[in-house]
Amino acid sequence: MERIISPSMLSADFGHLDRDTRMIDESAAQWIHIDVMDGVFVPNISFGFPVMKPIRRASAKFLDVHLMIVEPEKYLRRFAEAGADLVTFHYEATQDQLGAIRMIKECGVKAGISVKPATPVEVLGELLPELDLVLIMSVEPGFGGQSFMEGSWEKVRRLRRMIDDRGLPVLIEIDGGVSASNAGDLFAAGCDALVAGSAVFGAADPKAEIVKMLEAQSSR
């Protein structure tokens, strides 16, 4: 199983976004994670289309776009057109999850769905065959720098069993409180991709920190 690190640009220096994007582009990280918040679905506001485009210009890496917005269907096509390789929306943000998944795929990009900490992964059962990725939030979405919620371990394991029992090629990504200290255990529990913000951009050597995460061993 390939290990993927997706540094979250939410923790980058917004005043030097081009510099930080190019640094990640030169690192061992395979993906770049972009959090989009509307101040309604979550109590914070972040990137929009104007910021995504320069990130796309500064890197050819896989753009992993996470929409924390209400009515995501209104914007899915625009994020795909802005250069996203994967668009993930929240299960809790729409009543028509299947319609949103199909809309993303019609744009020629990969489709993901995310669940908040209180949402059980079992609600995704019928949607799994349509998805490319499930993003488990291991903190309450909206702000970086939060501590990992311990209940997330069991959610990852349950989702891993659901996917493997059906032989599906769905990736599991986790976001929140990820660092080199728990990366090995998260990969061992069944995660394919780890989103890391503060742990990367707050490190003395972000590139070395990414390598540490990729090479981390399980302690469990």
* Residues tagged active-site: 35, 175
Spatial distance between the Cα atoms of 48 and 85, rounded to a whole number of angstroms:
16
Phi, psi of 13 (to 5 degrees): -85, 110
Please report the DSSP string for 171-197 in residue order: EEEEESS--HHHHHHHHHHT-SEEEES
Would you give the DSSP letter of residue 169? Answer: -
Do 62 and 31 form a contact (C-beta atoms < 8 A)? yes
Of the candidates 151, 210, 220, the residue with the CA atom closest to the CA atom of residue 31:
210
163: part of which helix (H) or strand (E)? Answer: helix 152-165
Furthest-apart CA atoms within the chain: distance in Å:
46
